[in-house]
Structure 1
Amino acid sequence: MTTSNTQALPTIDFTKFANLSPFELKDKLIEVAKAVPDRILLDAGRGNPNFLATLPRKAFLRLGDFAIEESERSYSYLNEGFGGIPDGVGVVERFDTFAKENLNRDGVKFLQKAISYANDRLGIDKQAFLHEFVNAFLACNYPVPSRMLTNIEKVVKQYIGEEMYGPMPMTTDFDLFATEGGTASMAYTFASMFNNGLLKKGDKVALVTPIFTPYLEIPELVEYELEIVELRLDEKTWQLPQSEIEKLADTGIKLLCVVNPANPASVKFSNDTLDRLTDFVNTQRKDLFIITDDVYGTFADNFISLFAKLPYNTLCVYSFSKYFGATGWRLGTIGIHYENVFDDAMRALPEAHQLQLDNRYKTLTPEPRDIKFIDRIVADSRAVALNHTAGLALPQQVQMALFSLSCLMDLEDNYKAACKRIIRERYTTLYKNMGVEIEENEDRVDYYTLLELDTLGGKLYGEEFVQWFKDNNKGKDFLFVLAHKTGVILLPGKGFDVVHSSVRVSLANLTHHDYELIGRETRAVLDAYYAEYQAR
């Protein structure tokens, strides 16, 4: 890769891309970068990590070997390749024999420890645990319960609790629904809030912005048509000022959506922000619905979720995609505490509305009003009529549980430390190669970083340059110039509703050396703008 490319930038009408999602705009940037032959393409636009957890994947494969053996015990007199559904009788003893014979195979020792951990720490009977895992791997039955298999839910609840509560006293008094990733969790939750009268067209929804783009786009869909109220993070500290929290005093705001740690800023709520928001909701807005999307929380130090601070009000969306390098597995959860505002709000609906909902869910139970909101999400995910076929594929649930167990049993947090180290070293490398001093921030997570062009320009070249940069709309074409001259692909901060000229760099998906190059090439493009400014 080199910045010495002298080809002219293709004539591009940037205005026609104004309404594109940043993830769609990325494809246009790649087209521009590929227009130059023999070019190394460095795509730091999307946050798919290039690291992943291997041990729980190995355990999944070894479990599969054992599960197949269990299945083949039935109908063994028939042709090879024919098996039955294991009944679980004697499964623990047979697994012990299997483990002794295969102890040198990666993943077998992990499974032994997992069975022991589940029994000792979670009180799960060994036979029940193994039998559930074997049949789930084979996927020979429908998901029952549809929301999540019983013992797998216990395992994942323990993991979610330990990660979301941080240093706070922890509880597992909540239900989980296993979903096809965080995106499915979001889509299902919004749909069920409308189906159950918790939201209606024209209602106000507060978003803590800048925010992950779909949260900006979902409320504007024709089936929802919600009014967005922005609670803007301070773009210097990336914390929520009290003046923004106090916007929630408007009782017309029904729902608050939070991504914590933030995307694209990759900074978690400080303890002060959490405390002030918690106090305000508890004293003035006990009726507020909250959705917190905490996918990046596992990369933060001492992370505490709103799910822990405001358990009554908060629905938690968590995805396994980033931390375990599992975006293709599509693994996510919705968590709601046993006592929650969603159920209480449904019970308080007018009788006429209650009768409508009775009719909607009458095929599920003689007492449809007893169906909890989280179980209505499950039913709605299959249009109610197909509730009996709802639920995440069982092998996916098995892998989710094995991911969870890998962290629960990692008492020294070795995997967590490695994940944090790799992204934070890339952060340091990027800024070092741009020639920019790093400011310490204990709430910074570093999965992404936001290069604020105004701030960078001021640090490197002074405020007069920044004013010229703004006056001449240079931030508008920066991404295209960068892509064309260097092959570096970044995402616009504006797509996440960032006010100032900025670009998002994912620190998860390229090599350490690549971030050295990105830092140098980004600085080279900024230097070229500065040369243009000096020669004006």
Structure 2
Amino acid sequence: MQDGQRDEEKRYESLSPFELKNKLADLAQTHHEKLMINAGRGNPNWIATIPREAFFLFGQFALREAHRVMSRPGMAGSPDGAGSGARLLSFCESHGDRGGAQFLADAYAYVTKTLALDGDAFVGEMTDAILGDHYPTPDRVLPLTEKVVQAYLAETMFDGRPPAGTMDLFLVEGGTAAISYLFNTLKENGLLNPGDKLAIATPIFSPYLEIPPLADYELVSVDVAMDEDAGWQFPDAELAKLRDPAVKAFFLVNPSNPPSVSLTEASLQVIADLVRTERKDLIILTDDVYGTFVNGFRSLAAIAPRNTILVYSFSKYFGCTGWRLGVIGLYQDNVIDEMIAALPTDRRRGLHNRYASITTDPDGLKIIDRLVADSRAVALNHTAGLSTPQQAMMVFFSLAELLDTEFHLYKKEAQGLVKERYDALYAGMGLKSPDLDASYARYYTTIDIHKLAVERYGAEFDAWLRDDHEPIDFVWRLAEDKDVVLMDGGGFAGPNMSVRVSQANLDTGEYVKIGKAISELLADYKKEWDARRA
């Protein structure tokens, strides 16, 4: 490498992979005669159509309901739910030729029969929600909306086998908002303090590595590393780090990002046993956004419900990143409320004063409701909560899955699409795609360039690659020479000189080109090495 380029790469190695990606895109775009291929983004290029058709059709029904109450030029009233269930079914029958009509009728049957909800109350809540004419009431989540989303999570996150008890939900503006709110509330309530240890399952979504050292938190990160050679599962020695009482919380993405692998039942059980015995005070934060891409997926919240806070986002599975639809879930019987109650007297007195303006029982305020209050600086608690049209959309996405539990047609389509692209990527590299087990989501792929280098050209070549090049040189040159933008896996605490490929955001044929570009670039390095030795 030329010294100037190596120095420039070193400057960029300290950046988040997401900021580095912008530089790589700039490098790729310098070749105007070529089309840049950017597989660095995680948002999918598909959308779920059926729930959207139903949502937009239901909006027309809601407007009719509003005009029933009051109809003036350009103005209507706030709908009344009485009799709305029968009117919805009549509306669906008269609009049977419209996309979404059958879905609405089936959804009504599901919520009234399977979930045993009152039909008028449900339709009334959805009508008011989609029109967005009131603040969310309650602010944490609309009451029947919570029932539907709970059913969705039980099906998708718990494999239809939820633990006993009730999971309270706080609907938020996407998974990133969920994480922001959680860290803030855990700090404000004395559960994460400066100098505390936070165990982080690595590799992981890189912003999650960047949060703990911020001045807002000043936490000490402890890597709990997955083993690439063991199918990205945790060795026992890594999970043993959670035994340290100085580790206050364990933060993971499951299935992982970027390896895109879900934890085995054995790993889940080790963690669950640990919090039932030695570490009853360990808080677990699990981001399970990719769980729907793994059949039979079970969250840690399913087997360690007292210690686990579940974060889920609808964004990836349904192709709705722009909707910002996220959920925080926590079982009513949880250790976190007990830990707050056991805080030192002076700390509890401060928290009493913090929440005294919003409840007559601030000491008994549950952590899930503290999250709601803290999300609006407590004083603005009365206007907290996810917008009601967003909550309505979340209900329609949830019902789309719940109505498809027999054949799983949408799930098969989504999983099949990412697998098709995964296979195309490896075909482009001239390889047969690995025969992965059911724990692999394939939403992303991590390709270890050093391992590929050893397999193709030997250990001596790989040693030169390591010694003479910066870890980000491969993604740098991939962008500059091949017009392909991938994420640097090392920035996710993954292997140095690895790449993360998103199978979500490009058409299948593009992944063949990406695979070829990876192979061609590795061959270019080999030519340089041969020239050096000549």
State the TM-score, normalized to the length of structure 1.
Answer: 0.96
373 and 144 in structure 1: CA distance in 2 versus 1, 3 angstrom threshold: same
What is the one-letter code of the residue matched to 1:27?
Answer: N
Residue 364 of structure 1 pairs with residue 358 of structure 2 = yes
Cα distance in 2, alignment partners of residues 519 and 413 from structure 1: 31
Cα distance in 2, alignment partners of residues 535 and 75 from structure 1: 82
Cα distance in 1, alignment partners of residues 479 and 66 from structure 2: 54
Q: 1:32 aligns with which of 27, 36, 43?
A: 27
Residue 423 of structure 2: aligned partner: 428
Residue 466 of structure 1: aligned partner: 462
Asked if the contact 2:48–2:319 (Cα under 8 Å) also holds between the matched residues in 1, the reply is yes
Cα distance in 1, alignment partners of residues 318 and 175 from structure 2: 14
Q: 1:487 aligns with which of 483, 502, 509?
A: 483
Residue 22 of structure 1: aligned partner: 17
What is the one-letter code of the residue matched to 2:39?
Answer: A
Residue 302 of structure 1: aligned partner: 296
Q: 1:231 aligns with which of 224, 229, 233?
A: 224
Q: Deviations over 1:427-451 (max 9, x none)?
A: 1111121023433231221100011
Residue 205 of structure 1: aligned partner: 198
What displacement does 1:90 show?
Answer: 2.0
Residue 102 of structure 1: aligned partner: 95
Residue 415 of structure 1 pairs with residue 407 of structure 2 = no
Asked if the contact 1:239–1:269 (Cα under 8 Å) also holds between the matched residues in 2, the reply is yes
Residue 152 of structure 2: aligned partner: 159
What displacement does 1:126 show?
Answer: 0.3
Q: 2:276 aligns with which of 271, 282, 288?
A: 282
Residue 242 of structure 1: aligned partner: 236
Match runs of 1:173-212 below 5 Å: 173-212=166-205
Asked if the contact 2:490–2:497 (Cα under 8 Å) also holds between the matched residues in 1, the reply is yes
Residue 143 of structure 1: aligned partner: 136
Q: 2:446 aligns with which of 445, 450, 460?
A: 450
What is the one-letter code of the residue matched to 2:48?
Answer: A
Residue 529 of structure 1 pairs with residue 525 of structure 2 = yes
Q: Deviations over 1:483-506 (max 9, x none)?
A: 112111000011111143201000
Residue 93 of structure 1 pairs with residue 93 of structure 2 = no
66 and 168 in structure 1: CA distance in 2 versus 1, 3 angstrom threshold: closer
What displacement does 1:464 show?
Answer: 1.8
Residue 438 of structure 1: aligned partner: 433
How many residues in Structure 1 have an aligned counterpart in Structure 2?
526
Stretch moving more, 126-135 or 526-535: 526-535
451 and 394 in structure 1: CA distance in 2 versus 1, 3 angstrom threshold: same
Residue 5 of structure 1: aligned partner: none
Q: Deviations over 1:363-421 (max 9, x none)?
A: 11111112110000000000010000000000000000100000000021000001110
437 and 322 in structure 1: CA distance in 2 versus 1, 3 angstrom threshold: same
Match runs of 1:62-101 below 5 Å: 62-76=57-71, 78-79=72-73, 81-101=74-94
Residue 311 of structure 1: aligned partner: 305
Asked if the contact 1:162–1:170 (Cα under 8 Å) also holds between the matched residues in 2, the reply is no
Q: What is the Cα-based RMSD across aligned positions, in Å? A: 1.4
SS in 1 for 2:59: helix
Give the unaligned 5+ runs of structure 1: 1-8
Stretch moving more, 88-97 or 513-522: 88-97
SS in 2 for 1:13: helix
Residue 320 of structure 1 pairs with residue 314 of structure 2 = yes
Q: Deviations over 1:326-359 (max 9, x none)?
A: 0000000000001111111011112221111110
Q: 1:333 aligns with which of 300, 316, 327?
A: 327
Asked if the contact 2:155–2:161 (Cα under 8 Å) also holds between the matched residues in 1, the reply is no
What is the one-letter code of the residue matched to 1:283?
Answer: T
What is the one-letter code of the residue matched to 2:113?
Answer: D
SS in 1 for 2:69: coil
SS in 1 for 2:215: coil
Match runs of 1:31-50 below 5 Å: 31-50=26-45
Cα distance in 1, alignment partners of residues 270 and 146 from structure 2: 32
Cα distance in 2, alignment partners of residues 172 and 135 from structure 1: 29
What displacement does 1:167 show?
Answer: 6.1
Cα distance in 2, alignment partners of residues 200 and 169 from structure 1: 32
SS in 1 for 2:157: helix
Residue 115 of structure 1: aligned partner: 108
What is the one-letter code of the residue matched to 2:184?
Answer: A
111 and 172 in structure 1: CA distance in 2 versus 1, 3 angstrom threshold: farther
What is the one-letter code of the residue matched to 2:192?
Answer: L
Residue 126 of structure 1: aligned partner: 119
Residue 217 of structure 1 pairs with residue 210 of structure 2 = yes
What displacement does 1:172 show?
Answer: 6.2
128 and 105 in structure 1: CA distance in 2 versus 1, 3 angstrom threshold: same
Match runs of 1:494-513 below 5 Å: 494-513=490-509
SS in 1 for 2:500: strand
SS in 2 for 1:284: coil
What is the one-letter code of the residue matched to 1:397?
Answer: Q
State the TM-score, normalized to the length of structure 2.
Answer: 0.96
Asked if the contact 1:157–1:172 (Cα under 8 Å) also holds between the matched residues in 2, the reply is no
What displacement does 1:74 show?
Answer: 2.5
What is the one-letter code of the residue matched to 1:495?
Answer: G
Asked if the contact 1:44–1:506 (Cα under 8 Å) also holds between the matched residues in 2, the reply is yes
Residue 259 of structure 1: aligned partner: 253
Cα distance in 1, alignment partners of residues 206 and 524 from structure 2: 31
What is the one-letter code of the residue matched to 1:100?
Answer: E
Asked if the contact 1:158–1:172 (Cα under 8 Å) also holds between the matched residues in 2, the reply is no
What displacement does 1:159 show?
Answer: 0.4
